[in-house]
A and B are shown apart, each in its own frame.
Chain A
Amino acid sequence: MTGTAPSDGLKTEFAGQRPRLFKLALVASFWTVLSLGFYRFWMKTRLRRWYWSAIRPGGLPLEYVGDPFEKLLGFFMAVVIMAFYIGIVNLILMFASLSLFATNFTAYAASLIGVIPIWFFARYRARRYVLARTRWRGVRFGLEPGAWGYAGRALWHWLITILSAGLLWPRKTFFLEKYRTDRTVFGSITLHQGGEWTMLMPAFVHVIVAGCATAVAGGAVAIGNPTVPWVGIVAVPYLIYGIIHYTVEAKRILANHKTAGDISLTAVPRIGTITRIYIFGYLATVLICLLPVIPITVLLGVIEMQKSSGLYDPTIDTTSIYGIPTTVWTALGIFAYFAVLLLWSVLRHCFVTMPLWRHYAQTLSIENPEALVTVSQKQRDDFREAEGFAEALDLWGAI
């Protein structure tokens, strides 16, 4: 430090309340359903604007400057390329599979395997797009090009993970995160992921223990010898906890080893809080989603009971039930279906996604923020295809 007093770091605030998010998500989901899915590009943009503006390191909000039209454009571009792949390549694969193996299963398998590298490619490109459209203090983030490099490494690290029966999962987490972080820029500075992959291993112990216990319990049931059913009853929830534990701990450790020049991060997310958010968030979401289903279920139950007791005979008039035409009942069923879909996506934002983001934001601070003054703007990344491939491959992610 050159004479300046050491700072306490920039705390991150989260300035967002559920009612406003609920209204935004509800309206946007409604239009998405009504437009047969095309409004989803607008929905994503609007939700991201909301989330980004809520996250305020040092009191200054992030800004999302993505445009729904560029997302739609990217989707069309991806369709042009993917249509070629799916049409022509699949036809050739089908021919080869039938000629060589006299089965079409090989073609489906090969086609699926062929999509995996494109899937990783799309993930990287989508991240690059989102970062290029994110600003803080008026300065852009960015991700250097390298999607094919990422796809290649992702395949390699996945292969190692699978060959090690999952034991080396933290190695994959670390190296893929390092690849992404080392290519992430904020204006004129580049981020750096420090540390070793082994630092994530202790956080993975719960998953290994619970995974082994689950495998033992599953194996015992499989060979018809469920002598220790309690092992499964304990092991499965423990495995779920282990996964949450690892996710939070890995995020925390990786964040604490990220630097950008003299700037560094301090993250202190609490595993207990995150676990609570998952449990009660999903519980609330599921329970409220069931509300539109309850009246219909009760009604069907009543009809069934009357049928069995001979009070109600549907053969008298097949076009109506209780004097209401069956078409109306069908319409009610469809309405309930979409109501559940809509509520699910809206409530998950309010009770799961938003609380998670809030907790991660509020437990993150930026050390040595004085160095930010020297950061200057980066060239605009005119990224035409946006996240089109991710869209075409249906990689929705959190938002």
Chain B
Amino acid sequence: MTERTIITVDGPRTADHTLEGQGLFLDGDRAAPHPARFTYTDADQSLTIATPDGPIQWPYADIRALRDQSTDETLILRLNTDPTARLLVTNSDDQHLTRARAKQIHRAPKTAHRGRLMAWALAAVASVALIIFVLVPLMADQLAEYLPPAGEKALGDATFDQIRNALDDTGFTGIAICDAPEGRAALAKIETRLTDELVLDTPLTVHVLDHPMVNAFALPGGYVVFFRGLLDEAARPEEVAAVFAHEIGHVAARDPTRIALRSAGSIGVLGLLLGDFAGGAVVLFLAERIIQADYTQDAEAAADTFAHRVLLDADLPPSAIGTFFERLAEGRDDGIGLIDHFMSHPALGDRIAAARAAEPPNAEFRPILTETEWRALQAICD
């Protein structure tokens, strides 16, 4: 053991003879390394390096070692405040002596722009929010008005397939479309009765999906889709007709086209933020959003008013929608789908009342389906 290593064990001392070391100095300006002697000046707690441009002083407290190096053979020193100059120390005694004195050697050197980082992080979140919640909906609403019927149909076809696949827990085929001929005939009878007096841009495409959710929804291009759960839950065919009329109202107003265009814009942005591992979840989330379509209160009210008029024109009672909601709200506390959606809507009571008010006193109604047809419709998935 040399005299110098013994001193490191004792810690720095103010010796009358100075301790010296040998290193390689890079001034951070020229690509030329200079062998340099350096002196431990414990009196003023600094390292004095003899460079070709004269001696420079590095305070012990400001000396840092480069981190995550591939080997301990070379200790590379820098100054906290100087980003470029380096001192390479290869002698292990010199390395020990330096470590014993420069107590902050393992700390990270100072870097700037932490404040800017926060600003950009906020900007990233804000711009994503702005695009998803403001710009994309705004543009989607405008563009939906100009989409030609064929384009709307294509969008509806794609979305319909996506929803069927997203709701299928087990297989790869998507949940089944129910098409028992008698049931389809009954459904067609309701459709004819409702649309007889109507002029629609696109013909309707009506499907029943084999899923227990108590819900119905509309898609771009004239799609009106019921889940089996809704047919099971309805007490009378008039209630199905009332929901049907409401969904036709959304189709006529092109509400689903707006929602679908919005998803087209938002899906990629969410994917960008979350990365690929969340890709599947994003699709599921968007499919869910289209089904539980969060239309504005105005759009819902307009679809209701539309439904009232269509139902009256077809000699059907608008109040049927009210009785359907009421029974769902009373009868089940595990209500899923439609009832959740409408219950979360503050105006549900108003809507039931509006449906009642739309019905003129002493109005005469004709039944929509025979008892046999109604049973056939409820058995459409069997």
Contacts and interface: CB of A to CB of B under 8 A. Distances in A.
B128 interface: yes
A50 interface: yes
A300 interface: no
Given A65-B83, A377-B84, A102 B151 contact: yes
Given A98-B152, A373-B31, A79 B272 contact: yes
Interface string B108-121: 00010110110011
A13 B237 CA distance: 84
A70 interface: yes
B314 to A, nearest CB: 32
B268 A86 contact: yes
A110 interface: no
Interface string A123-138: 0000000000001111
Interface string A52-73: 0110000011010101011011
Interface stretch (A88-96, A239-247, A281-289): A88-96
Contacts of B120: 73, 76-77, 80
Nearest to B122: A76
Contacts of A103: 154
B30 interface: yes
A53 B69 contact: yes
Nearest to B69: A53
Given A15-B73, A50-B69, A87-B265, A104 B33 contact: no
B139 A88 contact: yes
A70 B120 CA distance: 11
Contact of A137 (B32, B152, B154): B32
A83 interface: yes
A25 B120 CA distance: 29
B30 A90 contact: no
A58 to B, nearest CB: 9
Interface residues of A, number: 61
B152 A139 contact: no
Nearest to A189: B31
Nearest to B143: A95
Nearest to A373: B32
A327 interface: no
Contacts of A373: 30-32
Contacts of A67: 111
B266 interface: yes
B235 interface: no
A375 interface: yes
Contacts of B111: 67, 69-70
Interface in A179-204: 186-187
Most chain B C-beta atoms within 10 Å of own C-beta, residue among A137, A377, A384: A137
B71 A16 contact: yes
B128 to A, nearest CB: 5
B32 A372 contact: yes
A82 interface: yes
A69 B114 contact: yes
B269 interface: yes
A20 B69 CA distance: 9
A63 B140 CA distance: 50
A137 B143 contact: no
Nearest to B151: A98
Nearest to A91: B265
B261 A95 contact: yes
A104 B155 contact: yes
B301 to A, nearest CB: 27
A380 B84 CA distance: 10
A77 B66 CA distance: 28
A16 B30 CA distance: 27
B264 interface: yes
Nearest to A95: B143
B146 A73 contact: no
Interface of B: 24, 26-33, 66-71, 73-74, 76, 83-86, 88, 111, 113-114, 116-117, 120-121, 123-124, 127-128, 131-132, 135-136, 139-140, 143, 146-148, 150-155, 158, 261, 264-266, 268-269, 271-273, 275-276
Interface of A: 15-17, 20-21, 24, 37, 46-47, 49-51, 53-54, 60-61, 63, 65, 67, 69-70, 72-73, 76-77, 79-80, 82-84, 86-88, 90-92, 94-95, 98-99, 102-104, 107, 111, 135-139, 186-187, 372-373, 375-377, 380, 384, 392, 394
Given A16-B71, A46-B68, A87-B269, 20 more contacts: A16-B70, A49-B68, A53-B66, A60-B24, A63-B66, A72-B117, A72-B121, A76-B117, A76-B120, A80-B123, A80-B128, A83-B124, A84-B127, A86-B268, A86-B271, A87-B268, A95-B261, A98-B147, A102-B153, A104-B264
